[in-house]
Structure 1
């Protein structure tokens, strides 16, 4: 593994011994209360976790033995006031573990994950504490709407954790939680190891054939970051490997790269994830059965907007049939194009992106290389900020004199139009070997008002290929969409306006959490936004109208492929978690192949996430039996953006005001159906989604 170490960066340049642990300070005096990254060394985390866990245990014990009759304030609100020290340590640690890890942090992660799981189980399976929560009478106390929601969520959380079970079942539930934490950590660390170890060397002009200048520069930068043994390399970062598959004329190299990309986590040896998956599926099925559910999928969806696996699968099936037919039509056109060029072979998965780009050029006269100069990273960041300013009146001011865990991290103070503070936004945009793949939003601190007016610190982490020193990083349109998507999540955290930490920001139903992020993507595709912000990185000239027209006309191009790639992953996820196959052992690759055969998966397309590297569902439980949620939320976001179209202004103040109040700022104050109805006036239909993806003819 070639991961950078914390000691090689400002994140530990000033690291001292564990005797002067920065986590011993009750509050940090750093700007915005950020972690003093320069003073934190890996060895600080063990003692910090031990101290924080002990403190939280004492806080919970005091609530449990309180001689007063249980009330909302002395039980639920009291619990909401606990754990500040643990939250601070955990937020710092897990953000570093995902975005800038090293072997020392990984060893701690393997140790602390099960510890935290056991700690959580001890709280949620505490019979005396559960008895107190159960006795609270909301009507007798005259609780307000937010307090009633918090009480309801606490009761739901405790029941789903096993609070109503008998002693033996509780003990087993706790054992399962601890083991699952260990397995999820191993899965993600194995995946990072496979991703960071692999490089495809490109030595000489033959290996670089077809690659445009921006990709050659990114491959050279990646090679330099990995020691310079080769002049250019392709890594498994999506922002490098996808354009390589688009542009490389070397079919043999495309095949090698694609095989490495799709076989992460199943290469044999110590990083192979297949046995881990088998055990995870088995443990999830057992936990669901102990809690009285037919399957893990039934357990997971019982507390979601969808409500049941049947509802989620109905949506996936509704989209699958037209998407598959469109993908087959796309395949036939790609095959014809390959044959017309003299290709005496059947299109394979590693060929699809290459010929799709050729077809896009032919049908829309659109070349990704033509677009990228108009999509510099700084310009797209500004576009995201400006959109938030026009929708919600926000202001963003970059700040420089504050702690950073890596030199590439940037920071902006976020305020309302009147100057009142909102929070701090961090952007960590570039791929590196110490960062897990993908893109995500996280928080170093959540908004709340229970313990003072606490402002959030939110971070977006991405994996864009970094340009050579002195050159601007240019994004593909998909990269720009990812930036807007994650910033939508960031706004969900930044605009949170609740009292209780439990309800803050993104702490919503799994199939509602993607609404703010996916909805935000719509503004990137608006001519009004692109005309202002899509400007050539050298000349500053706006994107030519003709190019803009071609870009927008091609929005639904290749959507059969994209929808099949995603939906197949969601169907396999749900099928795995509806099945009890894990009870008697599971051959995950055979199960996956069988599930794909039953839906007639086109052979020329692979799942977006094959099971051995499906981090969404196996690095933790968040998206397990829940990958469908992107599509479920897309039904909402397509309908939600129509509200702005119906208002005649994509920045309509009244519509934006409702959006902020009931979606971006509301956290989990309401059931998601009630929240969406409060914004839109009704629940959505799937028609806008199908039109958006080009799966039905627009009226």
Structure 2
């Protein structure tokens, strides 16, 4: 029997991963689609007049088993994929897109939802009910429910093609990342690299059959130390060009045409709905509200950050010349010389801090933080099924012993895992007479252990761990009635607040003392190191801000195109023009960010990448309350939990934020923290 068609009867209803085979996915999902459509038919043909319960709530609760199977499939397609799985994804994607369109363009269903929406005053609805009703009604409008038959057909065709193109985009980036190898056989070429990076490269080479050599890849734990520490500018250039030319080589894995098609199809899709640009469509459902407001926000930050960024670049250039660099400072030299300057100015670098950030201890650290803030206990449970030997599962329990969530952690790179770090859900929280608790996971690509040392993280990796765990807390502490409003189901420019605010704890002694202990001696991280972390936290902040702004402006440029601007000859030229005001180095030919920018061309950040900076305003302002009252102050933590984390998308995010903070956020705290004022 196909396990995806049976109730998940294991611990906490976790998927029986070991029993699910590739051959199970497509037939199960196809069957569950038919069963879900029968549910919708029953809902539409209900002889009773439409009510909030029998229509809007019933719709929210439909298709649960289908959603469960699809979540398992697409989560694993990101974390543990294969060529065969990608083929299945290409087959399933248009089928699922078509299914979604069938529901959202069902005239009888929309008529019932519309009736409830127009007669909302007849029903006794609380704030969460009203939000579900509004979201449901708008969802139909924004998915083409008001289009005529021909337009609906065109909308569906565009949606299916888009889904396939976005999958293909991500597959190309993953294939490019996995295929590149820099093999070093001369030990002299390892000059400057720390012992840990050399050991990891030797182990990677041995695993690939290159005995006695060293292998470096485009995976972050390999690439980043190489760019920061390798003395050979020639090899740094080679790695930089390989990294920055992913899916930009004019071959079978090239994404240039995919970028153009995705942008055009997104525009054509929303044009059918009456919008001038894709950004207008997206931002209608964001805190920012409009493209003009986003551009104004980005320009304001650019104006404040640019002078500081230029000053930082000149400082690194002068320092590089002092160290003997001849000629110009190139893009592939930046990380190398700025790291050396940081070390000289603050007497701190990643290799000094690594011994205090053993992964297991850092994980226990985030668990301790969650306990002190929210009363959560994480209990390892090996009876909970996992999808890979590297994955660990935990039962999450509150102060009263109540089960809160299942938590998965998956930390190391492998060929079947896409790059970066993310939080995801295998099951969202909701209530239907009982409280169904969530199953959440964080997936990262951290520095793995070697034969000589355990997994020791960089400070940046520790921040990433806290960031993704912040998302996980948002999912785990959900307390909503409806799945579609639960946990991280919030406005996209609000979703980064719970993650980014938690990064602040990593710079606080009271937090670091919980877990930052030398992996060999057990000695606590010295107070002087913590002060150095704080003192250096704004090092090259102007440059980093410009980098984020360049991505956000490029994203807005792609998605603000109107009908007469859609003919793009060169992806690289378009990108350069969009990012020109943020450029701090001379142009480098042969590189392109757009062709590998999975956030906006595969993920959900299209016309939304600005939200990282937007959320920094929120998190700096919100953390100032913790700083004032104490980073583990129970009263503040409870308020943040009850007004932000547990509420999900049940109310407008600004209302939730004001309830916690007492007023709307201001940019002052961010400018002060970043040293930009």
* TM-score category, normalised to shorter length: over 0.9
Match of 1:427, SS? strand
Aligned pair in 2 of structure 1 residues 606, 619: CA closer, same or farther (>3 Å)? farther
Do structure 1's residue 255 and structure 2's residue 264 form an aligned pair? no
What is aligned with 1:150?
Answer: 132
Tell me if the contact between 1:394 and 1:415 (Cα under 8 Å) persists in the aligned partners: yes
- Identify unmatched segments of 5+ residues in structure 2: none
Tell me if the contact between 2:507 and 2:530 (Cα under 8 Å) persists in the aligned partners: no
- Alignment partners' CA distance in 2, 1:604 and 1:396: 49
User: Which of 161, 164, 167 is the matching residue for 1:182?
Assistant: 164
Q: 1:129-278 to 2 correspondence within 5 Å?
A: 129-136=109-116, 137-228=119-210, 231-278=213-260
Do structure 1's residue 639 and structure 2's residue 621 form an aligned pair? yes
What is aligned with 1:128?
Answer: 108
Do structure 1's residue 386 and structure 2's residue 362 form an aligned pair? no
Aligned pair in 2 of structure 1 residues 471, 613: CA closer, same or farther (>3 Å)? same
Tell me if the contact between 1:324 and 1:602 (Cα under 8 Å) persists in the aligned partners: no
Do structure 1's residue 77 and structure 2's residue 52 form an aligned pair? no
Calculate the TM-score normalised by the size of structure 1: 0.94
C-alpha deviation, 1:239, in angstroms = 2.2
C-alpha deviation, 1:322, in angstroms = 2.6
User: Which of 544, 554, 570 is the matching residue for 1:587?
Assistant: 570
- Alignment partners' CA distance in 1, 2:11 and 2:157: 41
Match of 1:260, SS? helix
Q: 1:43-82 to 2 correspondence within 5 Å?
A: 43-82=23-62
Aligned pair in 2 of structure 1 residues 153, 600: CA closer, same or farther (>3 Å)? closer
Task: Out of 413-422 and 166-175, give the one that drifted further.
Answer: 166-175
Tell me if the contact between 1:278 and 1:586 (Cα under 8 Å) persists in the aligned partners: no
What is aligned with 1:653?
Answer: 634
Do structure 1's residue 106 and structure 2's residue 72 form an aligned pair? no
Size of the aligned set, in residue pairs, is: 673
Q: 1:358-397 to 2 correspondence within 5 Å?
A: 358-397=340-379
Do structure 1's residue 33 and structure 2's residue 13 form an aligned pair? yes
Q: 1:318-397 to 2 correspondence within 5 Å?
A: 318-397=300-379
What is aligned with 1:490?
Answer: 472
Aligned pair in 2 of structure 1 residues 451, 428: CA closer, same or farther (>3 Å)? farther
Q: 1:378-457 to 2 correspondence within 5 Å?
A: 378-450=360-432, 452-457=434-439
Tell me if the contact between 1:448 and 1:498 (Cα under 8 Å) persists in the aligned partners: yes
Do structure 1's residue 89 and structure 2's residue 69 form an aligned pair? yes
Q: Deviations over 1:537-576 (max 9, x none)?
A: 1111001122221121101011122111111000010011
Tell me if the contact between 1:282 and 1:582 (Cα under 8 Å) persists in the aligned partners: no
* Cα root mean square deviation, aligned: 1.6
What is aligned with 2:607?
Answer: 625
C-alpha deviation, 1:225, in angstroms = 3.9
- Alignment partners' CA distance in 1, 2:447 and 2:532: 25
- Alignment partners' CA distance in 1, 2:207 and 2:10: 31
Match of 1:540, SS? coil
Q: Deviations over 1:156-199 (max 9, x none)?
A: 11111111222222221111111110100000001100001111
C-alpha deviation, 1:109, in angstroms = 0.5
- Alignment partners' CA distance in 1, 2:470 and 2:223: 25
Tell me if the contact between 2:378 and 2:394 (Cα under 8 Å) persists in the aligned partners: yes
- Identify unmatched segments of 5+ residues in structure 1: 1-19
Match of 1:253, SS? helix
Task: Out of 28-37 and 206-215, give the one that drifted further.
Answer: 28-37
C-alpha deviation, 1:315, in angstroms = 1.3
Match of 2:423, SS? strand
Aligned pair in 2 of structure 1 residues 399, 604: CA closer, same or farther (>3 Å)? farther
User: Which of 313, 323, 342 is the matching residue for 2:295?
Assistant: 313
Do structure 1's residue 667 and structure 2's residue 664 form an aligned pair? no
- Alignment partners' CA distance in 2, 1:511 and 1:282: 24
Tell me if the contact between 2:429 and 2:487 (Cα under 8 Å) persists in the aligned partners: yes
Do structure 1's residue 614 and structure 2's residue 583 form an aligned pair? no
Tell me if the contact between 2:32 and 2:66 (Cα under 8 Å) persists in the aligned partners: yes
Match of 2:190, SS? coil
C-alpha deviation, 1:605, in angstroms = 9.2
Aligned pair in 2 of structure 1 residues 612, 351: CA closer, same or farther (>3 Å)? same
User: Which of 517, 530, 539 is the matching residue for 2:499?
Assistant: 517
Q: Deviations over 1:398-440 (max 9, x none)?
A: 1122322110001111111111110110000001111000100
What is aligned with 2:268?
Answer: 286
Tell me if the contact between 2:507 and 2:533 (Cα under 8 Å) persists in the aligned partners: no
What is aligned with 2:4?
Answer: 23
C-alpha deviation, 1:277, in angstroms = 0.6
Q: Deviations over 1:275-314 (max 9, x none)?
A: 0010111111112221111211111101100000111111
C-alpha deviation, 1:600, in angstroms = 4.9
Aligned pair in 2 of structure 1 residues 229, 109: CA closer, same or farther (>3 Å)? farther
Calculate the TM-score normalised by the size of structure 2: 0.97
Tell me if the contact between 1:488 and 1:520 (Cα under 8 Å) persists in the aligned partners: yes
C-alpha deviation, 1:646, in angstroms = 2.7
Do structure 1's residue 571 and structure 2's residue 556 form an aligned pair? no
- Alignment partners' CA distance in 2, 1:161 and 1:115: 16
What is aligned with 1:42?
Answer: 22
Aligned pair in 2 of structure 1 residues 230, 201: CA closer, same or farther (>3 Å)? farther
Tell me if the contact between 2:547 and 2:582 (Cα under 8 Å) persists in the aligned partners: no
User: Which of 684, 693, 697 is the matching residue for 2:674?
Assistant: 693
User: Which of 510, 513, 519 is the matching residue for 1:528?
Assistant: 510
- Alignment partners' CA distance in 2, 1:203 and 1:72: 69
User: Which of 562, 569, 585 is the matching residue for 1:603?
Assistant: 585
Tell me if the contact between 1:569 and 1:609 (Cα under 8 Å) persists in the aligned partners: no
Q: Deviations over 1:445-504 (max 9, x none)?
A: 111112632111100000012112573101111000000000000000000001111111
Task: Out of 279-288 and 581-590, give the one that drifted further.
Answer: 581-590
Match of 2:424, SS? strand
